[in-house]
């Protein structure tokens, strides 16, 4: 049951492996610089219990975690919970998502769309077709993640149209982000919405690039596109300082 952060760097999953709190726990693994995943690390006792914590889902903001638990206080065979990162990137106490999202039956697994509002979850509640059914809902505002914009773009040579693999630096107030475009010039990341950002590229052989973009909150059905074109540097032409006598 893996769920990966929007930047592709951290994976949340459930496991009954040794070293946990008991039952099924939520673990994380981070992507290393060589592309391999690190050894699994238990997310800790704030989230995990001696019961079962399963089906984690990390939202696009990277700070809102949804999961199913039989160990935290609930109202059924397994309830859906929400947990947010607070100060110091520490997980806060999980909150039961309550009725009518949870029922006396088992709820297992939730997926929140990129708009942060529409969610899908499975439940064995009465009134379904039998067994675990899939339901759709509009998340109450208290359970929504922070608004995020899914952003993608291309970095290309302005004259040739060739893609450029380079670092794109993105700034906002006191925050700075950095993303690497791939060999096809493509980059993708998630940024907090309703904010203005600067985009900067310093690539050898090209003029310094800087621009500013305001990113409004989106439903993220389609990523916002920000393409960057780099102008090749030109060798400076010699400047005529004085003209000598004409030779005939």
Q: Percentages helix, strand, coil for the chain, rounded to the nearest 5?
A: 0, 45, 55
Cβ neighbours for 210, distance < 8 A, ≥ 6 positions apart:
198, 199, 200, 201
Number of neighbours of residue 47 by Cβ within 10 angstroms:
24
State residue 35's pLDDT score: 87
Query: Which value, to the nearest 10 degrees, does the dihedral of the CA atoms of residues 173, 176, 179, 185 take?
Result: 40
Tens-binned pLDDT, residue by residue, of the chain (248 aa): 899 999 889 999 999 999 999 899 999 999 998 889 999 999 999 999 999 999 999 999 999 999 999 999 988 789 999 999 988 889 999 999 999 999 999 999 999 999 999 999 999 999 999 899 999 999 999 999 999 999 999 999 999 999 999 999 999 888 888 999 999 999 999 998 889 999 999 999 999 999 999 998 888 889 999 999 999 998 777 777 766 666 55
CA distance 133 to 125: 8
Question: Tell me, what's the pLDDT at 33?
Answer: 85
The pLDDT value given to residue 218 = 85
180 neighbors 169 (Cβ within 8 angstroms): no
Quote the tokens at residue 19.
Answer: 């070293």
CA 204 to chain centre: 30
- pLDDT for 221 equals 87
Q: What integer pLDDT is reported at residue 234 of this predicted model? A: 83
CA-to-CA distance for 93 and 123, rounded, in angstroms? 24
Q: How far is CA 232 from CA 28, 154, 163, in A?
A: 43, 16, 13
For residues 108-118, b (16+ Cβ closer than 10 Å) or e, as one string? bbbbbbbbbbe
Helices (H), ranges, the chain: none
Any idea which residue has 């060999």 for tokens?
183
Q: What are phi and psi of 140, to 5 degrees?
A: -60, 150
Contacts of 225 (CB under 8 A, 6+ apart): 151, 152, 153
Q: Does pTM surpass 0.75?
A: yes
**Beta-bridge mates of residue 187:** 153
């Amino acid at each position: 049951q893996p769920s990966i952060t929007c930047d592709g760097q951290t994976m949340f999953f459930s496991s009954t492996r040794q070293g946990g709190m008991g039952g099924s726990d939520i673990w994380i693994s981070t992507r290393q610089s060589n592309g391999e995943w690190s050894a699994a690390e238990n997310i800790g006792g704030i989230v995990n219990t001696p019961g079962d914590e399963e089906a984690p889902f990390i939202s696009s903001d990277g700070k809102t975690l949804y999961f199913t638990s039989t160990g935290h206080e609930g109202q059924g065979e397994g309830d859906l919970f929400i947990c947010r990162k607070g100060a110091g990137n520490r997980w806060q106490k999980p909150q039961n998502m309550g009725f009518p999202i949870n029922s006396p039956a088992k709820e297992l697994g939730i997926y929140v769309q990129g708009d942060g509002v529409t969610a899908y979850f499975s439940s064995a509640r009465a009134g379904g077709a039998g067994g675990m059914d899939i339901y759709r809902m509009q998340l109450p505002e208290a359970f929504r993640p922070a608004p995020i914009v899914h952003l993608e773009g291309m970095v290309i040579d302005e004259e040739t149209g060739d893609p450029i693999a380079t670092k794109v630096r993105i700034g906002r107030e006191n925050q700075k982000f950095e993303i690497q475009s791939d060999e096809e010039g493509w980059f993708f990341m998630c940024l907090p919405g309703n904010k203005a950002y600067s985009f900067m590229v310093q690539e050898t052989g090209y003029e310094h690039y800087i621009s500013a973009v305001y990113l409004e909150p989106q439903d993220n059905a389609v990523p916002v596109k920000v393409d960057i074109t780099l102008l090749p540097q030109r060798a400076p032409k010699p400047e005529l300082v004085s003209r000598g006598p004409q030779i005939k």
